[in-house]
């Protein structure tokens, strides 16, 4: 049986080595083709200079017309989740430091959104 990979335009935040990173800390926002494993667009993470870090990344992924977002564990606070959900963008969660092409992804749960929201509040109050 042959596995058929379907082209999907994905958005995420990465470090210098194209490994998953928190929306609030990663150096770049990337748009990539999941089928051909090709980065289509890469820009500096606009959230690094903003007070609304995670939601700004979500808005950027919507602006870039991503079909799916891979969020590193701790990235999907409630506002980010809501922005992506309202735009009908699929979401998956990966581990910080994993390759953007990892298959070790999981569905978003209410616990992920809760954890990410608490982490966002902590970062706002106390910094990184």
The CATH number of the domain holding residue 86 is: 3.30.420.130
- At residue 5, the pLDDT reads 55
Asked, for residue 56, whether it belongs to a domain, the answer is yes
Asked, for residue 2, whether it belongs to a domain, the answer is no
The parent domain of residue 81 ranges over 9-126
- At residue 94, the pLDDT reads 97
How many domains does the chain contain in total?
Answer: 1
DSSP the chain: -PPPPPP-EEEEEE-TTSBB--TTT-SEEEEEETTTTEEEEEEE-GGGG-SSHHHHHHHHHHHTT-SEEEEETT---HHHHHHHHHTT-EEEEE-TT-BTT-S--EE--HHHHHHHHHHHHHHHHH--
Q: Give, for all 128 residues of the chain, the pLDDT tens digit.
A: 554 555 689 999 999 999 999 999 999 999 999 888 899 999 999 999 988 899 999 999 999 999 999 999 999 999 999 999 999 999 999 999 999 999 999 999 999 999 999 999 999 888 76
- At residue 128, the pLDDT reads 66
């Amino acid at each position: 049986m042959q596995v058929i990979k379907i082209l999907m335009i994905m958005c995420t935040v990465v470090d210098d080595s194209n490994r998953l990173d928190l929306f609030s800390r990663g150096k770049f926002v990337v748009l990539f083709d999941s089928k051909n494993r090709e980065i289509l667009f890469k820009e500096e993470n606009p959230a690094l200079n903003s007070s609304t870090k995670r939601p700004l990344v979500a808005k950027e992924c919507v602006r870039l017309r991503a079909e799916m977002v891979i969020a590193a564990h701790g990235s999907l606070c409630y506002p980010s989740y809501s922005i992506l959900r309202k735009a009908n963008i699929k979401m998956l969660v990966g581990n910080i430091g994993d390759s953007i092409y990892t298959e070790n992804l999981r569905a978003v749960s209410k616990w992920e959104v809760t954890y990410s929201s608490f982490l966002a509040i902590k970062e706002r109050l106390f910094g990184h």
